[in-house]
């Protein structure tokens, strides 16, 4: 299932979400401008390498004065156009409503904290891995975790290809996100069983980010007036791509 749009309304312009997307796109354009050797060094030094936190010998390869900075910088690096598009599209769909509830400044801190939690969870499950992990998906998984609690009755327009034909369905957010989390958990379990990152995806980072969002969202919404979403179907039915939310 590929998400196309949600129909939960928002009250404010999601400035922080737009800025985060802009920063990620800008850094990726810098990445693609680098020669392969320089890009590999960038990913190694500024991506999270789990063994760097568990093996003293590998830890020496950190840049002087940059200890732990990779927990932040890894969120803004991506491995390709599809990787970037998938993450930014998801942030575009779900980030605005969570930001609406937290406020822009709190949302950015929440985003970064969830991203750090995602990396630490991955390190714990793959302590000896020397493969750098990069991407915003851990932080965005935290956003999904917050959305799961804050907007369970919102509806998500999803695309499901059946025999190469695209079909659109409108399903409750709680169902879509529960399915998404189960997929990450299942794939992450396989990666531990086989002692390798299945499909080149840091599944446990997604799980860790989602759990971080579930646990921490209340702290960042505290004292804020939450947007209320009533369970209301789109007036256009399952194929509707517009509701009270604009610019989608």
CATH of the domain at 136: 1.20.1540.10
Relative to beta strand 165-172, strand 155-162 is antiparallel
233, part of any domain: no
Comparing CA positions, the residue from 99, 143, 94, 100 lying closest to residue 118 is: 143
Tokens for 212, please give them: 């971080």
Burial of 138 (0-12, 13-18, 19+ CB in 10 A): buried
Residue 11: DSSP 8-state: S
CA 128, distance to chain mean position in Å, is 24
Range of the domain at 81: 15-224
Residue 160, beta-bridge partner list: 167
Strand partners, 168: 159
How much is the pLDDT for 209? 97
Residue 114 lies in a domain: yes
Among residues 21, 43, 17, the alpha carbon closest in space to that of 31 is found at 43
Q: Which long-range contacts (CB under 8 A, 24 or more apart) does 187-195 make?
A: 188/125, 191/125, 191/126, 192/125
What pLDDT does residue 193 have?
63
Look at residues 228, 209, 227, 220 and name the one whose alpha carbon lies nearest to residue 107.
220
Q: How many CA atoms lie within 13 A of 142 on its CB side?
A: 29
> What pLDDT score does 240 carry?
34
CB neighbourhood size of 54 (10 A): 15
Is residue 248 situated within a structural domain? no
How confident is the prediction along the chain (248 residues), in pLDDT tens digits per residue? 889 999 888 888 999 999 999 999 999 999 999 999 999 989 988 999 998 888 877 766 665 666 789 999 999 999 999 999 999 999 999 999 999 999 999 999 999 999 999 999 999 988 888 889 999 999 999 999 999 999 999 999 999 888 888 889 999 999 999 999 999 998 888 766 666 555 568 899 999 999 999 999 999 988 765 554 544 444 333 333 333 333 32
pLDDT at residue 67, as a whole number: 75
- The verdict on residue 5 lying in a domain is no
Whole-angstrom distance, CA of residue 232 vs CA of residue 169 = 15
* Domain presence at residue 8: no
Three-class SS state of 157 = strand
Rounded distance between C-alpha atoms, residue 95 and residue 99, angstroms: 6
- Asked if residue 238 is part of any domain, the answer here is no
Residue 241 belongs to some domain of the structure = no
Total domain count, the chain = 1
Q: Is residue 243 part of a domain?
A: no
């Amino acid at each position: 299932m590929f998400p196309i749009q949600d129909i939960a309304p928002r009250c404010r312009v999601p400035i922080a979400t737009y800025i985060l997307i802009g920063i990620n796109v800008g850094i990726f354009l810098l990445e693609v401008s680098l020669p392969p050797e320089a890009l590999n060094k960038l990913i190694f030094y500024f991506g999270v390498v789990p063994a760097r936190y568990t093996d003293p010998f590998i830890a020496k390869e950190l840049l002087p004065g940059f200890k732990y900075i990779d927990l932040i910088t890894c969120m803004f690096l991506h491995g390709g156009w599809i990787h970037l598009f998938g993450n930014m599209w998801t942030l575009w769909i779900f980030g605005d409503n969570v930001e609406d509830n937290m406020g822009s400044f709190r949302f950015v801190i929440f985003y970064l904290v969830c991203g750090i939690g995602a990396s630490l969870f991955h390190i714990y499950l793959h302590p000896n891995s020397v493969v750098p992990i990069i991407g915003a998906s851990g932080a965005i998984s935290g956003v999904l975790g917050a959305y799961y609690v804050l907007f369970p009755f919102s509806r998500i327009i999803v695309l499901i290809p059946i025999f190469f034909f695209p079909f659109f369905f409108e399903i409750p957010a709680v169902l879509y996100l529960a399915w998404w989390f189960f997929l990450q958990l299942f794939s992450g379990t396989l990666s531990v069983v086989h002692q390798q990152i299945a499909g080149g995806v840091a599944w446990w980072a997604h799980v860790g980010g989602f759990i971080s969002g579930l646990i921490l969202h209340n702290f960042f919404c505290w004292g804020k007036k939450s947007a209320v979403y009533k369970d209301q179907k789109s007036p256009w039915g399952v194929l509707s791509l517009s509701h009270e939310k604009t610019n989608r």
